[in-house]
């Protein structure tokens, strides 16, 4: 249980709040590169700030204030130019660093005044990596965008999935270090959704939680498992500061503001060994629904959507003053203590946990991966079809979240080299 003040401390993300200042010291994924195949501007909201993400005619990305500093016009309706974004109201042009480079009338009326040199628009650094567009809203010098090991893998098909979750980011991230929910929220709930009363999933018998350089790890033993099982020997990663890593996919919980979260999933599917070498030309991105269209109820048929139901069910901002933590919540307690410790760290002017500044180290950041051999060395098509998880992807499409577009499914089938619609 937390007191009211600590709960507020951990959940408020606006500029000037302690947690807002902490989260601004990390790069956040805010969009996909492929979203800009047929568009040049996208309005975004991040950490309580309304911004405009754009790709100019030179191919450079910029992230600036949603509103022009002249008369507060909406920059998401601006014009991209060879270098920068022009306001559609009076033509003021700004580059990706926020400098005003043109003021058409003012420069004609009084060119010697150099008024444009005294005007800037708020701007933040943007980088691309692994098909994602990343933004950094914190103090300079910025750290490096982490180049996680799976970003370097070959012979795989990657897709990016977004979802808009109407609750605070912190309860989403706490889910990343809560192993017992897997038994009930996913396995047993799926049994009940199939109108069955059982048999239920094997129960959790033993849990362990460890801290490492880039986050926390939870390990578990369930009925029928031995201590040689990868989920006990290796486990899964609560990736710092706001992601889950399961081995074949990342899930970031990006704070939009204190009441909304952008879920960003980066999912890797190893192609059959018969398809090697395989090089993906384009990483597709799509948006998954969270509510049923007719009833308005939360979608509960898919793994990710089941998580969403749990998060929003806790309230827009979970009231942790009313909770009763048990033995299975040791990871939750570790996570909260670590964040509170990080707040002390940045108050001393030091880098918080998992800040990457060494370019050599960042060539490939290793993570604990339970099924490393399968993902890096691959399986034959027959082995994939018989695999309990990857076989479902072949036969059912993306099994974790509803709404995969047909064109993404077809691209996946092409990568796997099998007409999966026909797979029984």
Looking at domain 37-129, its CATH architecture is: 3-layer Sandwich (2.102)
**For residue range 324-368, what is the model confidence (pLDDT) as tens digits?**
999 999 999 999 999 999 999 999 999 999 999 999 999 999 999
Rounded to whole angstroms, the Cα distance separating 94 from 79 reads 11
Q: Do 130 and 138 touch, CB atoms closer than 8 A?
A: no
Q: Does position 82 have pLDDT exceeding 70, yes or no? A: yes
Rounded to whole angstroms, the Cα distance separating 43 from 38 reads 15
The pLDDT of residue 394: 80
Q: Do 64 and 98 touch, CB atoms closer than 8 A?
A: yes
The pLDDT of residue 422: 46
Q: Do 390 and 247 touch, CB atoms closer than 8 A?
A: no
The pLDDT of residue 206: 96
The helix (run of H) or strand (run of E) holding residue 237 is strand 236-239
| Portion of the chain with pLDDT greater than 90, in percent | 87
Structural Rg of the chain based on CA atoms: 23
State the alpha helices, DSSP H only, in 42-195. Answer: 104-109, 169-174, 180-181, 189-193
Q: Does position 60 have pLDDT exceeding 80, yes or no? A: yes
Q: Does position 45 have pLDDT exceeding 50, yes or no? A: yes
Distance of CA 108 to the CA centre of its chain: 46
Q: Does position 383 have pLDDT exceeding 70, yes or no? A: yes
Q: Do 402 and 299 touch, CB atoms closer than 8 A?
A: yes
Q: Does position 418 have pLDDT exceeding 80, yes or no? A: no
What is the rounded average pLDDT for all residues in the chain? Answer: 95
Phi and psi at residue 127, in whole multiples of 5°? -140, 160
Ranges of CATH 3.90.380 domains, the chain = 141-371
The pLDDT of residue 419: 67
Q: Do 298 and 66 touch, CB atoms closer than 8 A?
A: no
The pLDDT of residue 388: 82
The helix (run of H) or strand (run of E) holding residue 331 is helix 330-347
Ranges of CATH 2.102.10.10 domains, the chain = 37-129
The pLDDT of residue 404: 94
The pLDDT of residue 424: 40
Rounded to whole angstroms, the Cα distance separating 245 from 422 reads 31
**For residue range 225-241, what is the model confidence (pLDDT) as tens digits?**
999 999 999 999 999 99
The pLDDT of residue 197: 82
String of b and e for 220-252 (b: at least 16 CB within 10 Å)?
bbbeebeeeebbbebbbbbbbbbbbbbbbbbbb
The helix (run of H) or strand (run of E) holding residue 44 is strand 41-46
Overall average pLDDT of the 299-316 stretch? 95
Q: Which of 24-28, 193-197, 304-308, 364-368 has the lowest mean pLDDT?
A: 193-197
Is it true that the peptide bond before 211 is cis, omega within 30 degrees of 0?
no
The pLDDT of residue 108: 86
Rounded to whole angstroms, the Cα distance separating 384 from 273 reads 10
Strand pairing partners for 268?
158
Q: Does position 184 have pLDDT exceeding 80, yes or no? A: yes
Class of domain 141-371: alpha beta
Strand pairing partners for 267?
159, 249
Overall average pLDDT of the 112-127 stretch? 95
Comparing 195 with 45, which gets the higher pLDDT? 45
């Amino acid at each position: 249980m937390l007191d009211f003040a600590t709960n507020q401390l951990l959940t408020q993300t606006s500029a000037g709040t302690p947690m807002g200042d902490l989260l601004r010291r990390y790069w956040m994924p805010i969009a996909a590169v492929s979203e800009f195949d047929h568009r040049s501007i996208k309005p975004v909201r991040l950490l309580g700030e309304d911004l405009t993400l754009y790709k100019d005619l030179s191919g450079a990305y910029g992230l600036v204030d949603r509103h022009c500093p002249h008369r507060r016009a909406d920059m998401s309706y601006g014009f991209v130019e060879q270098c920068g974004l022009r306001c559609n109201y009076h033509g003021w042009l700004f580059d990706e660093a926020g400098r005003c480079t043109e003021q058409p009338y003012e420069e004609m009326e009084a060119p010697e005044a150099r008024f444009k040199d005294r005007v800037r628009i708020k701007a933040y650094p943007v980088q691309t990596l692994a098909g994602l567009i990343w933004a950094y809203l914190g103090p300079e010098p910025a750290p490096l965008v982490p180049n996680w090991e799976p970003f370097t893998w070959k012979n795989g098909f990657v897709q990016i999935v977004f979802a808009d979750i109407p609750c605070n980011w912190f309860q989403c991230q706490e889910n990343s270090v809560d192993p017992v929910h897997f038994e009930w929220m996913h396995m047993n709930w799926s049994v009940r959704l199939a109108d069955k009363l059982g048999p239920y999933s094997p129960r959790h018998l033993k849990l362990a939680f460890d801290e490492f350089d880039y986050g926390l790890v939870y390990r578990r033993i369930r009925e029928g498992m031995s201590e040689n099982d990868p989920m006990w020997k290796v486990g899964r990663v609560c990736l710092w500061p706001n992601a889950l890593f399961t081995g074949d996919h990342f899930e970031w919980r990006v704070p939009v503001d204190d009441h909304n979260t952008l879920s960003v999933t980066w999912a890797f599917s190893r192609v059959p060994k018969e398809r090697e070498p395989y090089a993906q030309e384009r990483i597709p991105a799509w948006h998954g629904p969270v509510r049923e269209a007719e009833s308005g109820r939360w979608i509960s048929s898919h793994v990710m959507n089941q998580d969403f139901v749990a998060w929003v069910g806790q309230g827009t901002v979970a009231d942790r003053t009313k909770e009763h933590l048990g033995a299975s919540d040791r990871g939750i307690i570790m996570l909260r203590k670590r964040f509170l410790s990080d707040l002390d760290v940045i108050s001393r002017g030091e880098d918080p946990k998992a800040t990457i500044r060494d370019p050599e180290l960042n060539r490939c950041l290793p993570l604990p991966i339970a099924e490393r051999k399968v993902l890096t060395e691959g399986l034959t098509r027959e082995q994939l079809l018989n695999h309990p998880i990857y076989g479902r992807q072949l036969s059912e499409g993306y099994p974790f979240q509803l709404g995969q577009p047909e064109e993404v499914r077809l691209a996946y089938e092409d990568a796997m080299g099998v007409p999966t619609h026909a797979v029984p």
